[in-house]
Structure 1
């Protein structure tokens, strides 16, 4: 399970880095800001779900 987690993390980081590099090639920076904003929102949703699940498991 840990190796799957690690490989998924590196795959996502590589894909988003490639996307950011392609967006930087256009010369505008606002798409990269939107990309990072979307990533932050996704992380917050996943963290909230994990905390909620952990709290439900403890009861």
Structure 2
């Protein structure tokens, strides 16, 4: 498996975020960025859990 498979494609917002130069950012700006990213991770995890629960309900309904 190629390690580049998990990287976002060029031009996607995540690709731009990953490539952003962090050197000019202050410690406070880095802390704010970390907080924002942790919030996004929590949001994605909640969405993922809803999808897993939805799938489990559907599987139970159709006895897969």
TM-score strictly above 0.5: yes
User: Larger helix proportion, structure 1 or 2?
Assistant: 1
Runs of 4+ in 1 over 6 A off after TM superposition: none
Q: TM-score, normalised by structure 2?
A: 0.53
Structure 1 unaligned spans of 5+:
1-8
Normalised to the residue count of structure 1, the TM-score between the two structures is 0.55
Aligned residues: 48
Structure with bigger gyration radius: 2
Q: RMSD value over aligned CA atoms?
A: 2.2
**Structure 2 unmatched ranges of 5 or more:** 1-7
